[in-house]
Structure 1
């Protein structure tokens, strides 16, 4: 017998068996990892999902694949300048285009690098705004291009999901639009002194606000005129001087006054003579010396003399002259009431006409706040309504009531005049001062209100700047009542939203800088 070696017998050695076992184990592990990882997903847009059904010709076992989310730093652009989303051989180009001032979505579908026919395809978007509002948008063929029937309101800040249905496949994509967002860190917000306010329910006593102006109280304002031709002899009142009722403002020498006063004095002398004659004739008649006819004639002459005196006295009073004066032509211009000289158009030695307004005197202890009321607001602005008047150039505030509302609408302004009488004991309300007149109405509970400082205007539309992570976004709103401190939000904002309040104009200015480069 002979002994054979292991190699000669053809059986593997221990070392070879060990190597084979290791290779089998490694292969099993790699295969398991490949099976668990699933199929490789194609590159797409910002982020998208895809739902795929079994195609015709398969083994009949349909399956659905749930696509994951993809994030890229910059979304690829399509040939039309729109955002490009891809899934395998399928591509969607989506563009927010502004035509005729109306932003609308447009879409182009491509399969295997060839434009897809629009028949049997459907594209729909769901836009979710920062305030939670959602807008459903459907694209339909228009001149060979899928175009949205609905317009997309500014600002274009939203999270969007896009659903695409083709005759064979369905796709789901999503993206984020941040056009117009004002990026600000918490440190920048604090440095700019921007405070935040939360939209909350509140009870608001609404107030209609009207621009107004302080005017003289015309019921306590007098324009002083000489009433006769004359020459100024002296002027004792100065502009801005406070005068008392009856105080002499100026003295004028007038020939007309001299003639009238002469007539009065002559009439007084004739009356004295007639009085003496009547008394003598009456005494003689009582003594049976003269007939009664002489007494009657003397009485008639006395009555006529008295009438002449009364007429001359009335003429002097009409001219504003006193009946007793040392100089016949002296005319004293006196203050008709306590007040201030607010206008002066008279100088020593000046010849003045009878209708010249030489002084304007006004009692400033009360003034008028005049405002113009549009026709639509006349139902709320009525005589007796309570108002608050605020000065535009100071912190002065006064309460009052509407004392007058005009009955006619102006042809040019289409408004009716209204006024409020304001007490002015300290003289704080100066005529010519611009004011804001708030007409107060009944209290009303409002579901959503924000601080008045939060309201700004963009493109002639009221907005608030909604706080979002990383900054603010402009949110258009529809306002309701206001009491000067808080404003009712009828539409566009939900309770609990955080908005920029004091300092919101800083956010608006930053937003204006970014809108200078606004494109779709």
Structure 2
């Protein structure tokens, strides 16, 4: 064995070990130029490895491959990701890929991978037949997603030596952190470009969702009593109409049962007194006509009649009021029961009604709320209060929802700005009213609020979800390639509509991790990589 051949074998072994140490183990395959023991194994190992990351047609392509050489097989390890949903990219699990080399003279060579190597990865093998400049394009066809991604201009070299000599020197720059596709596909992951946007100036505050004034009510037991068996029993979430009977309470005390009887007796007495007064007036008028009594006596009879009429009217109104709140049937003393009716259209938000139970006066039995509109109360620190005095609206997020909610002149209104600073929290309340037609938002939810100041700024911005806290420093992860990222500290500015101004740290067009940044941060802290490495 010649010294040159021995040196080539040693070099190939070192490169293979180095590849495995970096988590990219291509066991038993020809990826990255490691031919399966073929005649060109040593030469293939010397070819420079290239990579490309491209976005097109709703697809993300990250591809690794050895430099293209005439007559040499070059496996394209193409990682395809469905990048159509900004809230989370998905691994491609179906389809076939056609790689096309289009030369400057218009000729084209095609190479097809009929199926996936495994989820997300296709490996068409390119074997160019002539050297020169070409455009490399990959076409994905499948049920899940389809599209064409242009990988860019490539050079097909006549020999391996030409490819090696043309390889640029290894650049020295900022260090990157790895986050392999296998890791990305197992979490909620997405990227977005840093771009210039028009942002609304805003002030951050904590807030809470509350019922609109007059659109919530509590119904309590008016007297000590018993809830009759067989009566209405409201339940949580029940839709009710204004005036609907929700619960009945039968009084259990003699005084409570006698109230209605007393009022009825007073009404009967008033009517009898009115009749007597009417007769007295008639008699007085006859006697006055006969000049048997003075006019003063007639006037006294008429005044007595007016007082009797007034007393009848008062007792009748009181009797009507009692009858409007009592059913007139039931199992209580005298058969009377108080009916608690819904004061508004809405849903039952609280119900503590047990048939047969005895309750004391003032016990809360039912609460009703109309959730179709809500109030957002934001607590603004006193230093920021002057900025939101005429706030046109606000954006807010609540736990459990991935989307941001907005309230402005189109969707709601500003109700009021507090005129007093809370002595304990040093905040000023600002109220907004907003629609809640589907009832998704619940009163009592806490919110993170950005109140618009009315000012706008055109600036470079990144998604707010891309910014993570790294030891007290706002940080984003900027994509270097499909599986490597730069960790950059930024200086945030205006926040608006889910975006935050980046005063420095990123450049326009650079892609940042907009979903999964926290998981990437954790992986850099632990050095975690998939146990199987990154085998292709």
| Structure 2 partner of 1:263 | 266
Q: Residues 298 and 392 of structure 1: is their aligned pair in 2 closer, same or farther, counting only changes over 3 Å?
A: same
| TM-score, length basis structure 1 | 0.54
The answer to whether the Cα contact below 8 Å between 1:447 and 1:495 also exists between their aligned partners in 2 is no
CA distance in 1, matches of 2:496, 2:304: 77
Does residue 219 of the first structure (1) align with residue 214 of the second (2)?
yes
| Structure 1 partner of 2:244 | 247
Number of matched pairs = 338
| Structure 2 partner of 1:490 | 503
CA distance in 2, matches of 1:225, 1:397: 35
Partner of residue 374 from structure 1, selected from 368, 373, 381: 381
Q: Residues 334 and 324 of structure 1: is their aligned pair in 2 closer, same or farther, counting only changes over 3 Å?
A: closer
- Shift in Å at residue 330 of structure 1? 4.6
- Shift in Å at residue 463 of structure 1? 1.1
Does residue 409 of the first structure (1) align with residue 421 of the second (2)?
yes
CA distance in 1, matches of 2:425, 2:186: 41
Secondary structure of 2:214's partner?
A: helix
CA distance in 1, matches of 2:190, 2:221: 63
Partner of residue 236 from structure 1, selected from 232, 236, 246: 232
The answer to whether the Cα contact below 8 Å between 2:326 and 2:339 also exists between their aligned partners in 1 is no
| TM-score, length basis structure 2 | 0.53
Q: Residues 442 and 418 of structure 1: is their aligned pair in 2 closer, same or farther, counting only changes over 3 Å?
A: closer
| Structure 2 partner of 1:421 | 433
Does residue 511 of the first structure (1) align with residue 524 of the second (2)?
yes
- Shift in Å at residue 459 of structure 1? 0.7
Deviations along 1:369-388, one digit per CA (max 9) or x if unpaired, are 33322223323334662234
Deviations along 1:221-265, one digit per CA (max 9) or x if unpaired, are 222234444444574251243333333332534333433343233
Q: How does 1:3-152 map to 2 (within 5 A)?
A: none
CA distance in 1, matches of 2:520, 2:470: 12
| Structure 2 partner of 1:184 | 178
| Structure 2 partner of 1:335 | 342
- Shift in Å at residue 208 of structure 1? 4.0
The answer to whether the Cα contact below 8 Å between 1:370 and 1:417 also exists between their aligned partners in 2 is yes
CA distance in 1, matches of 2:370, 2:208: 17
- Shift in Å at residue 456 of structure 1? 1.4
| Structure 1 partner of 2:280 | 277
CA distance in 1, matches of 2:323, 2:492: 59
Q: Residues 192 and 349 of structure 1: is their aligned pair in 2 closer, same or farther, counting only changes over 3 Å?
A: closer
CA distance in 1, matches of 2:205, 2:453: 14
Q: How does 1:403-482 map to 2 (within 5 A)?
A: 403-442=415-454, 444-467=456-479, 471-482=484-495
- Shift in Å at residue 508 of structure 1? 1.0
Q: Residues 321 and 499 of structure 1: is their aligned pair in 2 closer, same or farther, counting only changes over 3 Å?
A: closer
CA distance in 2, matches of 1:342, 1:401: 25
CA distance in 2, matches of 1:426, 1:446: 34
The answer to whether the Cα contact below 8 Å between 2:422 and 2:428 also exists between their aligned partners in 1 is yes
The answer to whether the Cα contact below 8 Å between 1:182 and 1:510 also exists between their aligned partners in 2 is no
| Structure 1 partner of 2:89 | none
CA distance in 1, matches of 2:205, 2:288: 81
- Shift in Å at residue 484 of structure 1? 3.2
Runs of 5+ in structure 1 lacking a partner?
Answer: 1-175, 516-520
Partner of residue 355 from structure 1, selected from 359, 362, 373: 362
The answer to whether the Cα contact below 8 Å between 2:390 and 2:453 also exists between their aligned partners in 1 is no
- Shift in Å at residue 341 of structure 1? 3.1
Deviations along 1:360-399, one digit per CA (max 9) or x if unpaired, are 2323332223332222332333466223455543458463
Q: Residues 474 and 211 of structure 1: is their aligned pair in 2 closer, same or farther, counting only changes over 3 Å?
A: same
CA distance in 1, matches of 2:356, 2:480: 77
Q: Could you say which structure has the larger radius of gyration?
A: 1
Secondary structure of 1:431's partner?
A: coil
- Shift in Å at residue 488 of structure 1? 0.7
Q: Residues 299 and 309 of structure 1: is their aligned pair in 2 closer, same or farther, counting only changes over 3 Å?
A: same
The answer to whether the Cα contact below 8 Å between 2:327 and 2:339 also exists between their aligned partners in 1 is no
Secondary structure of 2:503's partner?
A: strand
The answer to whether the Cα contact below 8 Å between 2:398 and 2:447 also exists between their aligned partners in 1 is yes
- Shift in Å at residue 345 of structure 1? 3.7
Secondary structure of 1:358's partner?
A: strand
The answer to whether the Cα contact below 8 Å between 1:462 and 1:477 also exists between their aligned partners in 2 is yes
CA distance in 2, matches of 1:348, 1:475: 64
